[in-house]
Structure 1
Amino acid sequence: MKDQSQTTTANPPAHELTYRALRDMVLFGELAPGQPVTIQGLVASLGTGITPVREAIRRLTAEGALEAKGNRRIAVPVLDLRQLEQLSFARTQIEPHLASLATARIDAAQIERLATIDDALNNAIQQGDIRGYLEHNHAFHSELYDAADAQILAGMAAALWLRVGPSLRVVCGRIGTQNLPDMHDEALRAMRAGDAAAVAAAIAADIAQGHAHIRADLSPE
C-alpha cells in the first residue's frame, strides 16, 4: 500500500511530504473523528506552507479521509454502523485476496521482514504503545499487500485503511493494546507453508477482530 510516488523518487516534493504527514495524522489517530481543525492549525502542526496543506486536504477529502466542516475547518468523518459494515465488506473482499496473491510471489526474505515487523508490533502490545501498535499493524499489512504486485487493489486497500484507522485509535484508547490480538502469527505460518488460502483466512479473521471492537464501540449501550 505504498504511494506510487514513494517508489519512483527518492526526494519527493514538499506537497507530497505534506500529504504523507497529514495522511499519517489521520491514519494513526492524531486527528480524532469529529475533531475540527483549521488549515492554519495544520500549517503550524506540519511546519509547512498553506499551499501544500491545502493540496493535502484536497487529496484526503477526495479519498474520504477528511470532510469540510465550514468556517475553514475540516475533520475526520465519524463512522456509523452502516458505514462500518460497508467497510467490513470491502476490506474482507479485497485484503484477503491481496494476501492470497502475495503468497504466490513472496520470498523468504520478505517473510522475515514481515516477522520482524510483527515482533515490533507484539512488543508495542506488551508496552501499551498505541501509536507503535497502529504503525506496525499498518506496516505489516502494507508490506504484505505490496508483495501482491496488484496496484489497483492495494490502492483500494490503502483508502479503506484511512477510513478505519481513526476509529481503531479510539478503540485502542478505550480498551488498550492488550485486548487487540492479531492473526499475524497464523498468517506467517501459512506463508511459510505456501498456503495461500490459509493466509487469506488469517487476514480475513484479523480484519474481523478489529472491526468487532470498533462495532462494539459504536453500538449503543
Structure 2
Amino acid sequence: MLALTATASGPVRADVVEHLDLRDAAVIVAGFDRPNLHLAARFCTDDDERRRAVTEWVAERAGPGLLYVATRKDTERYAAGLTSRGLAAGAFHAGMKAADRRRVQDGFMRGELDVVAATSAFGMGIDKPDVRFVAHAATPGSLDAYYQEIGRAGRDGEPAEVMLFHRPEDQGLQRFLVTRKLDRECVGEVAAAVRRRRLGIAITELARQLDRSRRKVW
C-alpha cells in the first residue's frame, strides 16, 4: 500500500500509519525547499492600511495569482477592489453555489482570470503550473496550511513571489475559528429537519423553519 499526502506534520504522518494499520511502514518525507519561490512578509498596523497594501501589491503583479483571505466577505471586497484596478478578478468561498465556484475555478485554470481572492476552500485539485504569485491578506491557521497554499505558486519551476501581509490580531481570529464550540442543539435540529425532507431542503427555507440564522444552519 502507498499512502501519499502533499503536506503533513509528524502527528499527521503518525495518524496515517495508525488509521491505515500499516506495519513496518517506510515513511519518506521529501524536502520543502523551493528555490524559485521568493518569500516575504509585510507588517501592517491596521486593517485599512493592510487592505490598501494588499490591493496595490497584487495590482502591480503580473498574474495569474492567488490571494488568500480570512473571511468570505473579504473575498468579495478584494475581488471588487482588484476589478476596479483593471484586473480580471474573481471571488471564491465555500458559501457560493457550486456552479459559481466551478465557473471561477475553471476561469482561473483557463487563464481568463488574473487573480482569485479566496478562502482556504480554494485549492484542492488546483494544479496550474504558471501561478506567478500567492499572497495572503491574513495569517493562515497553521504553518502546514501556509506551506500548502504557497506551494501552488511556480510549479513550472519559474520564479514566483509569495507575500504575507500580517497583523498580530490575525492569531486571535484563528484561535476563535479553531476553538469556538459546536452548537449541538442546533446540529440536532438541522439533522432532524433534513431527515424529514428526503428530497432535500434549501438553506434559506431550513433557517426559516427552525427560526435560526442562515449562517447558523449552514
If the TM-score is normalised by the length of the shorter chain, which range does it land in?
under 0.3
TM-score, structure 2 normalization: 0.26
**As a proportion of its length, which structure holds more strand?**
2
TM-score, normalised via structure 1 length: 0.25
Larger radius of gyration: 2
Q: Indicate the structure whose relative CO is greater, using CA pairs within 8 Å and at least 6 residues apart.
A: 1
Higher helix share: 1
